[in-house]
Structure 1
C-alpha cells in the first residue's frame, strides 16, 4: 500500500498548491451554484482534474469517484474517492479552513486516507494497520472521557434543510451537555481534527462519501470510532456520521440516535 499512499499524498499536495494560490481571489464569474448553498469554482474543477490525472498516470485501471465529475459509486477492486476542495464556501470567502481529501477503497474497505490543509501545510494521512500521522508525527484521538469537558465539532445541514428541526434539537441538547461546539465548515478538517485530538467528537447529517472517506480511516487508525447515527457502519451510504474517541463517540450516539428512532 505504500505506493498508493505516496501517490495519494503527491496528488493532494499538487491540488493544495492550486488552492493556496487562489484562496480568497475568486471572482463571481468563476462560481457556479450547483444547488441551494452548494457552489463549485474553477479551482474545484482544476484541482480535481490534477488529482485524477496524477493517480491515473500510475494506476490507469483504477476507478474514480470524485465530487465534480465521476460521483457515482461503482463496484470495483480499487476505487479512489476524491474531494478536490472541501470547504468551497470558505474558499470563496478567503476563510482559511479548506482541504483536499483523497481515499482509496480496496474491495469495499477504505485502506488509504489523505487530508491536506494547504493553508497550514498540514498533511494528515493513514494506511490501514499502520496508524495515523500529521506531517510524519503519529497522532491519536483525545483522551477526554467526560462529555462535559469535550469539544464537539459539527456541520449544519445547509444542503438538506429537511433535517434542520432535528439538528437544532440535537445542537441545543449538546450545548447543555458538552464544553462547547465548533463549526469549521469543512468535514474533512473536522474528521482530521478528531483524529489528532484537537476536538473530541464530530457529527453531521447527509454528507457524501468524498467528504468522509479519508477522514474515517484517519480516526480509526488514531484509535477512534466512526459510525452512523445508530452506531453501525453505513455512514458512507447514509452520510449520517458520528466520530470521536471511543467514550465521546458512544456519548454522541446515545444522544443523537434518540432523534431518529
Structure 2
C-alpha cells in the first residue's frame, strides 16, 4: 500500500476542510445537538471515496457519512479504508482549530497504514505498521511517564445526550482525582495523536466509532504506546470504546478509574 497516496489524499482533503473552515456553514443535526454534520463532511468523504475507488476499485470503504446515510459497516479480511472526513465537526463549526481528516487502511482486519491531518494547524501525522509514527516527518515518541499521578489525560463527553452522561461524569471525576488533569479537545483522532506525541499520557472514551480511532490507535502504538478497551481487555476496533496510553502501567491505572458503559459492537 502506498503511503504517498494516503498522504497526498489527506492533504487534498485538508484543502477542502480549510476552504470551508472560515466560511458560513450549512449545518445539520444527527442524533443530538452535539452530533453535527456539514456540507464539508459530505464533500470530503465523497472526494476521498472517489479517489480510493479510482486507485483501488476492489477495496472496501467505511466512511462516517456513508454509514450515517444507511450504508452497512462491513469489516472483513478484504483491503478496507476507514475514513472520518472531518473528525471534530463541532470544532470545525465553531472554528476551534482541532479538526482533521482521519484515514486508515486495513488488511485482514488489521490497520496497516494511518494518516491524521489537521489542515488548520498543518499537522500531518502518519504511521505504517512496524515503521514508527511521525508528525510532519519527525519521529514521534510517547511520554516517559510511569504512573497516572504524573499524567495528563484526554477524554471526551461524546455526542450522546442520554443516561450515559452520568457514568461519564463519574469516570471523569475518578480520573481527575488520580491524575494531573483532563483535557477535552473534541477529536478522538487528535486525542490519540496527543498521546503519540507525548503531550498527554492517556486517552479514553466510550461511544466512539471505528472511523474515529482506526488511524489514531495505530499511530499511538507505532510511537511506543499501548492500546486496550477501557476495561483493560484487548482493543477491539468495533467495540465503540478506546483506551490508549504511553505505557501499560498508566493504561492499567487509567482503566481502574473507568466504569464500563455498554455499547453494541459495530
Tell me the TM-score normalized by structure 2.
0.91
Q: Does the alignment pair 1:32 with 2:21?
A: no
- Determine the structure 2 residue equivalent to 1:231: 232
Q: Which moved more, 1:52-61 or 1:204-213?
A: 52-61
Change (3 A) 1:259 1:45: closer
CA-based RMSD of the aligned residues comes to 1.6
* C-alpha separation in 2, matches of 1:149 and 1:230: 21
Aligned structure 1 segments of 4 or more residues deviating by more than 4 angstroms:
257-260
Which structure has more helix as a fraction of its residues?
A: 1
Deviation at 1:256, TM superposition (A): 1.4
From 223, 247, 251, give the equivalent of 2:253: 251
* C-alpha separation in 2, matches of 1:64 and 1:8: 14
- Determine the structure 2 residue equivalent to 1:61: 58
Deviation at 1:245, TM superposition (A): 0.9
* C-alpha separation in 2, matches of 1:234 and 1:223: 16
Deviation per CA, 1:30-80: give whole Å up to 9, x if none.
111112121111100111111112222211110100001155322241010
Tell me the TM-score normalized by structure 1.
0.93
* 8 Å Cα contact 2:153-2:203 kept in structure 1: yes
Deviation at 1:170, TM superposition (A): 1.2
* C-alpha separation in 1, matches of 2:114 and 2:162: 29
Deviation at 1:179, TM superposition (A): 0.7
Deviation at 1:258, TM superposition (A): 7.1
* C-alpha separation in 1, matches of 2:213 and 2:16: 22
* C-alpha separation in 2, matches of 1:35 and 1:167: 18
* C-alpha separation in 2, matches of 1:116 and 1:258: 31
* C-alpha separation in 2, matches of 1:92 and 1:259: 28
Q: Which moved more, 1:59-68 or 1:6-15?
A: 6-15
Q: Which moved more, 1:35-44 or 1:65-74?
A: 65-74
* C-alpha separation in 2, matches of 1:235 and 1:87: 22
Change (3 A) 1:54 1:258: closer
Deviation at 1:227, TM superposition (A): 1.0
Deviation at 1:231, TM superposition (A): 1.6
* 8 Å Cα contact 2:175-2:258 kept in structure 1: no
Aligned residue for 1:255, secondary structure, equals coil
* 8 Å Cα contact 1:34-1:40 kept in structure 2: yes
Deviation at 1:198, TM superposition (A): 1.0
Q: Does the alignment pair 1:43 with 2:40?
A: yes
Aligned residues: 256
* C-alpha separation in 1, matches of 2:46 and 2:234: 30
* 8 Å Cα contact 2:143-2:201 kept in structure 1: yes
Change (3 A) 1:258 1:189: closer
* C-alpha separation in 2, matches of 1:63 and 1:157: 27
Aligned residue for 2:37, secondary structure, equals strand
* C-alpha separation in 1, matches of 2:130 and 2:195: 18
- Residue segments in structure 2 that go unaligned for 5+ positions in a row: none
* 8 Å Cα contact 1:122-1:135 kept in structure 2: yes
Change (3 A) 1:79 1:26: same
- Residue segments in structure 1 that go unaligned for 5+ positions in a row: none
